Chain A
Amino acid sequence: LAKTTQPISMDSYEGQEVNITCSHNNIATNDYITWYQQFPSQGPRFIIQGYKTKVTNEVASLFIPADRKSSTLSLPRVSLSDTAVYYCLVGGYNQGGKLIFGQGTELSVKP
């Protein structure tokens, strides 16, 4: 199972764009990259998933370079409510629900 490395913490201000980069050097060919968000005392919540290039949904964008050894979660115009821990995970079809969570990135958004 591919291991991921993310910054432990990041600070931002309301209205700014936040980019969180994740390193996954040992990603396998059939692995997908998924990001989850977690608030205190709650379970993680799915944000976005991708395989290569760029994926965008209503809350975030995910950028994956051609070698897929890293990925960047982009949160446009963050608000105070985006203060949370963000986890990057990689997994494939044969992995089941056995997701490997790292320590995640604790994002603090200030007014």
Chain B
Amino acid sequence: ETGVTQSPTHLIKTRGQQVTLRCSSQSGHNTVSWYQQALGQGPQFIFQYYREEENGRGNFPPRFSGLQFPNYSSELNVNALELDDSALYLCASSLYGTGREKLFFGSGTQLSVL
């Protein structure tokens, strides 16, 4: 158990809809990163939040957005869903968000876009 919880575990949406995924980070961690993992691929970095500010973003369009709250929990929002957005979405928390730290991942949200 990593202490990182994600909800919901599974979600089915239709193309064009919007979705919000949630993540509670491990106690004491103030950094949250989000990853998208397509079937058979490694996780792809979406963005990272450190103390409520976005401080890094991968190669994802603006319709992928996020928030981090004062308690360091986080949301990932995806607008105008496309079929290719079907994937496992992973949230990871760490203390400072440096590349040297151990990341603690949740079990993910499996999103299916029909």
Contacts and interface: CB of A to CB of B under 8 A. Distances in A.
B100 A49 contact: yes
A36 to B, nearest CB: 8
Nearest to A46: B102
A96 B50 contact: yes
Contacts of B102: 34, 46, 49
B88 interface: yes
A41 B9 CA distance: 10
A42 B108 contact: yes
Interface in B15-44: 31-33, 35, 40-44
Interface in A20-69: 31-32, 34, 36, 41-46, 49
Given A101-B44, A102-B42, A103-B42, A96 B97 contact: yes
Contact of A94 (B88, B91, B99, B107): B99
B100 A92 contact: yes
A97 B33 contact: yes
Contacts of B58: 98
A44 B45 contact: no
Q: Which of the four size classes fits the interface of chain B? A: 35 or more
A101 B99 CA distance: 12
B101 to A, nearest CB: 8
A32 B42 CA distance: 19
Contacts of A101: 35, 42-44
A98 B43 contact: no
13 contacts: A31-B99, A32-B99, A43-B4, A45-B105, A90-B99, A91-B98, A92-B98, A93-B98, A96-B97, A97-B101, A98-B45, A99-B43, A100-B45
Interface of A: 31-32, 34, 36, 41-46, 49, 87, 90-104
